[in-house]
Structure 1
Amino acid sequence: MNTLNKYTILVIALSGLSACSINNSRYSQKQDSAPEFHYGDLELADATPRYEPYAPANFRPYTVLGQYYTPMLTAKGYEEHGEASWYGQKFHGHLTSNGEVYDMFSMTAAHKTLPLPSFVKVTNLDNQKIAIVRVNDRGPFHPGRVIDLSYAAAKKLDVLSTGVANVKVEVVHIDEDGIMTVGAGAPQQPEIPPSLAQPESNAVMVAQANTKTTMEDRVELESAAPPISNALASVMAGSDKKSQIFVQVAAFSDAEKVSELSEGLARLYQVPTDAPLIDNIYRLRLGPLINEQKAEKLIQDLRSIGFDSAFQILSAD
């Protein structure tokens, strides 16, 4: 079998494995967790507050665990205190309550009753760290918890190690004329403060507007999600100047083949991929990875599906 046919078959197989993992089971892992690769010291940008009309479908009351919830009609002037928690790998790539795709590397959050979407300023009262997040999901459904943060937001607020933190939540409301109100504060003219004027960390991928949701311990959705873009993960990898662990899968001259394999492997292993062009050859690699044990396991898996030349590399670029 020639090399081209070999990797064409592998692409098809990888696509099939990815589809099965999404469609046959709502989640690919039982317990939630942080990602399995090294995140680095990247300072994530806050979500950028802007005017977004509320989605009418998200005003429908709902019931979870016997508790009845009625979403607010407006979030202007809202603030509250309570505990924040976070959610990560288990829900990564699945639909949120308003039909978007959850990306744990975006600055997002879940709230039980705020209109979707909303922007909120979250202050960790234990260390005074602040993050601006976009609320696009429902939860958390645990007593005392007022907001569920994405992995990225939890990292910025230093909540990952503790699991929960005491926080203050203030809605950043911007009307159609650009007038901004933060929590119960006075309205401000249409000028985003420097602390908020940072680029969106990642574009959200929007599913069909009429997606029907099912509420469980979290708001869990049946529909299969498309794969998360590797763009942000590539930025994260490039931002850490320390030596990082990667696994090189193979080298190719065909850019289209690299793109197809990259997407399939990213889905299958839930790790970032990149393919730097060196001497007119694309070197497809996975990572950065959290440790050498993870790299060794990944190499074994890759060799078992035909990538016999997979090997570990260290890189500072």
Structure 2
Amino acid sequence: MKSLSSFILVLLLLSCTLKNTAEIKTYIDEKKEDIVAKKEEVIKKISKKPTSKKNKIQKRLYVLGDPYYIEGVQYVPLENYKYSEKGLATFYGKELHNINTVNNEKNKVTELLGRHKTLPIPTIVKVTNLENGISLIIRINDRHNDNTSLIQVSRKVAQLLKFYKNKTALVKVEIQADASKQIKVVTESMSDPLFDKTIEAAPTENVFESDLEDSDNINSGDNDFEQPIELSFEEVKEEKLYIKITNFQSYEEISKILNELKVYYERTIENNDNLFDVLIGPIENENANKIVSSFISKGYKNVEIIVK
């Protein structure tokens, strides 16, 4: 009888143990699901971990640069706070959108930007369309490699100055001295070793990285600017485009090259200390680049666009 009682007790204990084991297994399985769900949530949050605004700041550089050449024509960058020149303007489109500039920023066709061969970067300039009197303040943020045009502006600037459809325009480019000096100070301060510490000490809000992929789609609307756009108008007299080539050895050399290049515009020849200069024009805007490039390709590097 004692043995039977012991056997029954063992069976009861074993059944309880099995019951507890099943409950524990169920509990563990439930907890596993909770743990996996929480792990996925944590991973998702980590992938969107907050970054401070200071990490998003892109340091722009103040760039002047050394003399350089475009197809054998030399250009010398200078700080000239009295700069005022007339010439031909062209524009760039999506081929330069989001491309790095020489001063370490991304080019944008939807912003008020321009590219110039000799002005400091950045520089603030006023660009006036001499064909309609519309003017606009823009920022120079890059160099361009075109011998013909004085300035190359963004597509948005070309639209606002009303020469987008014509591709080119005669313009006047005037430096805004005070604004350019101020932007120089600000830009140079970004290169100061203390700049990062200053930004780090400043209170900032957390910014989360977006799930959206970067897009190169470009909105051509007029709402691409955070800053207001101020167009101004002024009376302009009709002016024409001419091309001046200097340092010919003789009249015969001038006639020969003009015939060879099939340049049949009106010409004015001046004797300048036994060397000869020739002024050709007026010339249509769309033909200027071809003529300038033709002279340069023949070794005549002293070619200049004149607007008068």
TM-score by length of 2: 0.41
* Structure (1 or 2) with the larger CA radius of gyration: 2
> Structure 1 or 2: larger helix share?
2
